[in-house]
């Protein structure tokens, strides 16, 4: 009888929780427009779906045991029926744990994460668009070495990041301050975060880090604020405002933008 009550309540709780999670996912997950972010998102959904009933099993087990088997009065004697071993339970629990772990290891949704980590190796990404990203207190500076652009800006003269859709982009992330000529090495830890891409990468002084992204849709900061570069590591008083607009454009628009930037930098430098 205990087993039936426990099992029925566990199933009801699991169904409710899965339903609630699906509802939350469908309504509150933010705008996501990168291949890599989408893979990570699917892996997260898969893991939470499998883990929710297991989590509830453990929690409900604790609560159920505390209610069902508590002493009825302060001077109650321990039950004469005591057992310290339950071979069936141990076998089911250990087998179940192994099966779940092997599932995570082999299941394509979770295994996709391995693909992301593998795809992030610089040696596998030789022919991408390169964007050098310099984080300083408090500004993001974008350079395009393949096009000889040192600092791209929008019409208002603010730093701006523009990348083409459906093309792999290699971000090279560094933290130092090119404008502090007395100490160019002055730098603190920042974090390169584009909310719409769903990935974050710390930017550490003295290190070069890489992030690879393929954007899946055209989009613009000027219509959706999630399409921006935001610092996600507290780096001083200017941290909350350390952001830069991002635009994801077609290949043709990107070419035109590069030409415009080249003209702009040429005008400024002469």
Interface region with Cu ion, contact rule CB under 5 A, candidates 7-15, 97-105, 157-165, 225-233: 225-233
Beta carbon nearer to Cu ion, 135 or 169: 135
In the Cβ-directed half-sphere of 192, how many Cα atoms lie within 13 Å? Answer: 27
Nearer to Cu ion, 190 or 247 (CB): 190
Residue 18: DSSP 8-state: H
Give dist(CA 161, CA 197) in Å, integer.
14
Q: Which of 131, 162, 235, 248 binds Cu ion (CB under 5 A)?
A: 235
Tell me whether residue 17 or residue 189 sits nearer to Cu ion (CB atom).
Answer: 189
Restricting to residues 176-195, name those near Cu ion by CB under 5 A: 190
Q: What's the min distance (Å) between Cβ of 134 and Cu ion?
A: 12
Piece of 64-72, 73-81, 114-122, 227-235 that binds Cu ion (CB under 5 A): 227-235
How many residues line the site for Cu ion (CB under 5 A)? 4
**116: closest CA among 242, 229, 201?**
201
> Residue 75 or 183: which CB sits closer to Cu ion?
183
Run of H or E including 153: none
Torsion of CA 34, 247, 269, 209, to 10 degrees: -20
Question: Any contact of residue 196 with Cu ion (CB under 5 A)?
Answer: no
**Interface segment toward Cu ion; rule CB under 5 A; list 31-39, 62-70, 204-212, 224-232:** 224-232
How near is the Cβ of 133 to Cu ion at its closest, in Å? 12
In terms of CB distance, is 171 or 254 closer to Cu ion? 171
Angle between the N-to-C axes of helices 108-119 and 35-68, in degrees from 0 to 180, rounded to the nearest 10: 130
* List 43, 231, 244, 249, residue binding Cu ion (CB under 5 A): 231
What is the distance between the alpha carbons of residues 148 and 143, in angstroms, rounded to a whole number?
8
Please tell me whether residue 24 adopts helix, strand or coil conformation.
Answer: helix
Chain-centre distance of CA 239, in angstroms? 20
Quick one: which of 56, 242, 246, 249 contacts Cu ion (CB under 5 A)? Answer: 242
Encoding tokens for residue 83?
A: 């057992």
Closest CA to 81 of 193, 2, 194, 168: 2
The contact set with Cu ion (CB under 5 A) reads 190, 231, 235, 242
């Amino acid at each position: 009888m205990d087993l039936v009550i426990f099992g029925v309540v566990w199933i009801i709780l699991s169904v409710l929780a899965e339903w609630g999670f699906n509802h939350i996912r469908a309504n509150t997950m933010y705008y996501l427009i990168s291949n890599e972010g989408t893979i990570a998102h699917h892996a997260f959904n898969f893991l939470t779906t499998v883990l929710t009933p297991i989590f509830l099993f453990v929690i409900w087990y604790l609560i159920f045991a505390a209610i069902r088997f508590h002493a009825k009065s302060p001077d109650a004697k321990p039950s004469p029926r005591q057992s310290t071993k339950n071979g069936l339970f141990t076998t089911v629990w250990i087998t179940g744990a192994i099966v779940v772990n092997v599932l995570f290891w082999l299941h394509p949704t979770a295994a996709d994460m391995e693909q992301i980590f593998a795809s992030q190796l610089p040696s596998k990404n030789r022919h991408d668009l390169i964007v050098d990203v310099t984080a300083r207190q408090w500004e993001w500076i974008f350079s395009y070495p393949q096009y000889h652009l040192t600092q791209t800006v929008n019409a208002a003269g603010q730093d701006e990041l523009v990348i083409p859709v459906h093309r792999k982009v290699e971000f090279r992330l560094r933290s130092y301050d090119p404008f502090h000529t007395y100490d160019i090495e002055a730098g603190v830890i920042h974090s390169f975060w584009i909310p719409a891409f769903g990935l974050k990468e710390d930017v550490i002084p003295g290190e070069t880090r890489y992030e690879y992204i393929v954007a899946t849709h055209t989009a613009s900061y000027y219509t959706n604020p999630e399409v921006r570069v935001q610092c996600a590591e507290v780096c001083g008083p200017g941290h909350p405002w350390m952001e830069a607009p991002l635009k994801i454009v077609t290949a043709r628009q990107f070419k035109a933008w590069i030409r415009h930037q080249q003209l702009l930098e040429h005008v400024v430098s002469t």
